Amino acid sequence: MSLPEPPSQPSKLLSSLFEHIDEEQRFDVLHVGPALQDTVDFFSGYRCKLHFIDVFSELPLATLEESDLSLDEQFGEILQLPTDTQFDLCLFWDVFNFLGTEAIAAFLSQLRPCLKATSLAHAFSVHNLKTPQGSQLYGIKRMDTLSLRNRQTKVPGYAPHSQSELKQVLTCFRFERSVLLPDSRLELVLRAHL
């Protein structure tokens, strides 16, 4: 007996990440979140290396009063990025909705050495700060379709940022495109700005 397919959501922007990808060339992908089978299946058609890093499972991050490690050091331990890695695509999903501005800055300071001028990213934000917390895990079903699964538990620390605040905090990216979704979320495509 086969399992039912997870719910899906159309994406107007995801396919734009692949417009400049040469299927014959190897590329690197950062996926922030747990590995989902449909994402692995989707990328199996490409010559790429997937880096799954579940930042969500490490939240909330310890404060300096609770830990000897700074936010930079905590993200260094969470990400453990090889120094020679250069990401072509970053799939952030909704991680920025769960990180304060200092945590985002620390996250990006660890990620920046692994970005190049042509790196692209996908993320979700909110159009309205009163948008309730979602509980989805995101995967890629097709180039224009995301799969959604419910998380086992709510992610702590939900504190979304306005689009203008995110633009200020995401210092090594610039906003390339955004689409307002029916549930008052924003789907974003970002380009590295180093």
Long-range contacts of 22-25 (CB under 8 A, 24+ apart): 23/47
Model's pTM, two decimal places?
0.94
| DSSP state letter for 56 | G
Domain residue ranges in the chain: 8-192
Tell me the average pLDDT across 25-38: 95
Answer yes or no: are the C-beta atoms of 11 and 145 closer than 8 Å: yes
Per the prediction, the chain carries an average pLDDT of 92
Contacts of 2 (CB under 8 A, 6+ apart): none
Percent of the residues in the chain that have a pLDDT greater than 90, as a whole number: 80
> Residue 83: what are its φ and ψ, rounded to 5°?
-65, -25
**Domain 8-192 listed as CATH 3.40.50.150:** yes
C-alpha 75/C-alpha 171 separation (Å) is 17
Would the pLDDT of 62 be above 90?
no
Are 33 and 26 in contact by the 8 Å Cβ rule? The answer is: no
